[in-house]
Structure 1
Amino acid sequence: MSEPPLKPVLQKPPGYRDPNLPAAAHSGFRPPPRKPVLPPSFNPRRRNRSFRRVCCCWLCIFVLVLVLLAVIGGLVFYIWFDPKFPVFHIRSFRITRFNVTERPDGTYLDAATTTRLEMKNPNVKITYYYGETEVGVSVGEGGDETPVGTTAVPGFTMWKQSTTSLKVETKVSNTLMDDWVGKRLQSRYRNKILEVNVEARTKVGVSVAGLKVGKVAVTVRCDGITMKELDGGDMPKCVIDMLKWLNIH
């Protein structure tokens, strides 16, 4: 028998869409491939943050340890050496010349003073050493003080449990002042109620067990002391200003 003739294959018309295929297949659009999700251990930002946190923690611990060691060292030093500040007194004060002269062109002061400062080091294990000391003397009440000279004293050392005495001489000549100031100073000088002020500026260092520590600026002030008190044998205690904030009596 002869085979039946083959049916011709029908051509699909233009724009034909197969209803059995999804819509995305007709449009030709393909979604972008997704990036592979890495585990948290492969995230560089999180690793950097954790590293920084660890460094900050260790730095804080290191600083706290240093502060703790400094506090312990300070306590051991204080207990072992028992440091005390030096004590300053005015041992004596004399005005060897005090002349107030009124002239047609004004009032002038000629004065000379001799001050003896006494310093005591009460420490058993600490030695103080001083740089050059500048000593200034003035007379009058606070705010209206009249300088009567400044002088410099060479550096010196205060050994353990020792007493040091400094002799300071100052003078002024032909110092012009207001007429009312000159009259008031002269009246107070005659009545021995003239107030004397002594100020010493220096730098002090400490020597402990043979080890020297750097010098610190110190100002010693002895204010508001009358001549009558000094003539009566009083030894007024002075005030120490250290580091511009520490005030020691």
Structure 2
Amino acid sequence: MDDKPSLAPKPKTKAAVAAAAAPAPARTTAPLKKPPLAPPPQMIPLKPPPAHHYRQQRGSGAPRKRHRSGSGCSGRRVCCLATGFLLLALCLAVAAACLAYLCYHPRPPSFHLQPVSTTRFRVGNSSAVSAMDVTAAVKVVSWNPNDKIAFEYGDGEGRVSLADSDGDITLGWAPVGGFEHGARRVAVVGFVAAAKGVVVDEAVAARVRDGYRRRRLAFKVVVDTHMGVRVGAVRTGMVPVRLSCDDGVMAPRGVSAGSPMSRCQVYLLRMTWFGLN
């Protein structure tokens, strides 16, 4: 194959030739230069203000509340002293009680309930309900076995009830006078309780009438009073005492001196103190 003929260059125009021959115009403005980078700032450590300056700043603000440590110490001291005196008094009281027990050998008094006598006993007859009129005389015998200890009893109240299988029947109450029970003495406390118009049903009235004919009625006696102890010229405070006699029997006709007595239970400060036969 024959080679292709090369293309002839185009002829230049007069304007192009003149522009190429003319000298280049000189630059009148200087080239822009970038400013040099500033070095990074150095970290200067902060110094705390002086102590006196800090105190002046705190003092210029709101007034500061100061805690009084002296009052707290005095309060604790008073509490410690009071606790110490209380413990000392308790120890002295226990020591005195032990010495008194060793010196006097105290023993509790005994209480027995004599058979209850009825001066009036009437049960009405009715087809629906019946009414009872009862007057009961109660006597409690107490014996103080101590040689140098006396007991003092305040005014109290005595209640009498009739025991029944369907529930106790309250017959009445009466005041009980206070008295002093000397050493090696026998004391008798008595009161009379009267009930009028006590309503019971026919079944209970029938059982009560049958028990009265057979002299087999059962009574319950409760006496609430206060008791204290006296040793020579020393007296103790009065504490509440309850005397409970649950096995009271009816006195037979023509009460004799040898009638059996029932035991009583004594409750001191709502707790059982001693039981007696």
Matched AA of 2:190:
K
How many residues align? The count is 219
1:174-193 to 2 correspondences below 5 Å: 174-193=197-216
Q: Say if 1:75 and 1:179 are closer, same or farther in 2 by CA, change over 3 A.
A: same
Query: Offset at 1:222?
Result: 0.5
Which protein has the larger Cα radius of gyration, Structure 1 or Structure 2?
A: 2
Please name the residue that 1:123 is paired with.
146
Q: Say if 1:49 and 1:216 are closer, same or farther in 2 by CA, change over 3 A.
A: closer
Out of 30, 48, 51, the position equivalent to 1:31 is: 48
Matched AA of 1:165:
V
Gaps of 5+ in 2: 1-41, 53-66
Aligned equivalents of 2:167 and 2:193: distance in 1?
A: 19
Aligned equivalents of 2:156 and 2:95: distance in 1?
A: 35
| Per-residue deviation, residues 95-135 of structure 1 (Å, max 9, x unmatched) | 23322112367301122222221111112111112222322
Please name the residue that 1:8 is paired with.
none
Query: Offset at 1:62?
Result: 4.4
Matched AA of 2:239:
V
Name the TM-score, length of structure 2 as normaliser. Answer: 0.66
2:148/2:232 contact within 8 Å kept: yes
1:141/1:224 contact within 8 Å kept: no
1:199-238 to 2 correspondences below 5 Å: 199-227=222-250, 233-238=259-264
Aligned equivalents of 2:149 and 2:249: distance in 1?
A: 34
SS state at 2:210 partner? helix
Matched AA of 1:240:
V
Please name the residue that 2:102 is paired with.
79
Query: Offset at 1:61?
Result: 4.7
Aligned equivalents of 1:168 and 1:48: distance in 2?
A: 62
| Per-residue deviation, residues 33-87 of structure 1 (Å, max 9, x unmatched) | 358xxxxxxxx99999988887776665544433322221221122122222221
Out of 155, 161, 165, the position equivalent to 2:178 is: 155
1:140/1:185 contact within 8 Å kept: no
Aligned equivalents of 1:142 and 1:215: distance in 2?
A: 37
Aligned equivalents of 1:125 and 1:140: distance in 2?
A: 39
2:113/2:140 contact within 8 Å kept: yes
Name the TM-score, length of structure 1 as normaliser. Answer: 0.72
Is 2:91 the counterpart of 1:68? yes
Aligned equivalents of 1:76 and 1:98: distance in 2?
A: 53
1:89/1:235 contact within 8 Å kept: yes
Gaps of 5+ in 1: 1-20, 36-43
> RMSD of the alignment, in Å?
3.5
Aligned equivalents of 1:152 and 1:96: distance in 2?
A: 18
Is 2:160 the counterpart of 1:137? yes
Matched AA of 2:182:
W
2:161/2:172 contact within 8 Å kept: yes
Matched AA of 2:150:
T
Bigger drift between 186-195 and 201-210 goes to 186-195
Matched AA of 1:245:
M
Please name the residue that 1:113 is paired with.
136
Is 2:110 the counterpart of 1:93? no
Q: Say if 1:111 and 1:210 are closer, same or farther in 2 by CA, change over 3 A.
A: same
Matched AA of 1:236:
S
Bigger drift between 176-185 and 60-69 goes to 60-69
Q: Say if 1:56 and 1:33 are closer, same or farther in 2 by CA, change over 3 A.
A: farther
Aligned equivalents of 2:154 and 2:166: distance in 1?
A: 29
> What is the percent sequence identity of the aligned residues?
26
2:128/2:201 contact within 8 Å kept: no
2:115/2:249 contact within 8 Å kept: no
Aligned equivalents of 1:95 and 1:189: distance in 2?
A: 10
2:106/2:149 contact within 8 Å kept: yes
Please name the residue that 1:196 is paired with.
219
